[in-house]
Amino acid sequence: CYDRLFRGNLVAPVETKVDLKPVAPRKAQLPATAAPIQAKPPVAAANQEVLKTDLVTNSINKSTKFQDRDQPTAQMQPKPQRKLKPAKQVKLTKPATPSWGIREEDNAKLVVSNSQRLHRNIVGQKSRLSLEIVCKDNTTSLQLRFGGNIVASALDTARVRFSVDERPAEDYLFSISSDFKSVGLWSGEEAIPVIKTLLNGSKLTVEGAPYFTRPVKAGFAIQGLSNAIQPVRGSCNW
C-alpha cells in the first residue's frame, strides 16, 4: 500500500555532475633575499699583494702570498753612509825618540818630553808635566807645563830647579805664560844656554811650585835630545 500511495509521487534523484578542475600545485615561494653585498677589493699596502677573496664564501685564495717583507722597498732603502774625514795628523819632521816627541804645530817646531810619573793637578786629576823646546817665528823657547795647574805669583815669575844626572842643581827664574798654565824662558838668549846643558844628559829632575799647590818634583828621560832637537836648531839657526 505504501508503495502504491507514494511511488508515483517519488522523484528520482538527479545526479549532478561537478566539473572539478585540477588545481596546479603552488610553487614554494621562497622569501626574497637581499641583493648580495659586493665587497670592495682590499687596498694593497706598499710592500704586499692584494689577496683574492671569494665574495660568496669570503675565503682567501691561498694561491697568492705576501711578498717578502724583509726585501727593502724603494721607500726603505738605507741612506748611504757619509764618509768621515780622517783626523788631522801631526806631521812628524823626524822619527820620534823613546824620550822625545817631535812635531810641527802652527808654523812652529816642537820637541816634547813628558814626565815619567803622573801628578795630581789643582782639581785632583792625574796628569803629566811636559817639557817643550819650541822654535816659532825664529825664536827659541823652553817651556814647562804643570799638567793643568794654574801658575801665578806676585812677580809673574816662578823659580824652577833643574838637576841633570848627578850634576849640581841649578835654579832658573821662569816667566809665567799669559794663560797661567806654563812657565818658560821665552827668548833664545835665555833658553838656548839652558837647553845646551840637557843635550848630553839622560835624566832631568825638575822642581817647581805652581800656585796654590805644594811643590812638584818630576823626572824626565832626556836621552837622545841631541838628535831630536835638530829640526828646532835648524829652524831657528843655532
> Quick one: pLDDT band at residue 94, thresholds 50, 70, 90?
very low
Mean pLDDT along residues 122-133: 82
What is the model's pLDDT at position 194? 97
What is the model's pLDDT at position 13? 53
What is the model's pLDDT at position 119? 73
Residue that wins the pLDDT comparison between 151 and 189: 189
> For residue 167, how far is the Cα from the chain centroid?
52
Q: Which three cell numbers stand for residue 92?
A: 812628524
What is the model's pLDDT at position 160? 92
Residue that wins the pLDDT comparison between 92 and 34: 34
**pLDDT one-digit tens code per residue, 174-195:** 998 888 888 999 999 999 999 9
Residue that wins the pLDDT comparison between 20 and 137: 137
User: How far apart are the C-alpha atoms of 205 and 220, rounded to whole Å?
Assistant: 6
Residue that wins the pLDDT comparison between 78 and 43: 78
Closest CA to 119 of 216, 224, 223: 216
What are the domain boundaries of the chain? 101-236
What is the model's pLDDT at position 190? 96
Is 61 within 8 Å of 54 (Cβ atoms)?
A: yes
Is 111 within 8 Å of 132 (Cβ atoms)?
A: yes
User: How far apart are the C-alpha atoms of 17 and 189, rounded to whole Å?
Assistant: 161
Strands 101-105 and 170-176: unpaired
**pLDDT one-digit tens code per residue, 45-77:** 555 544 444 444 454 444 444 445 555 555 666
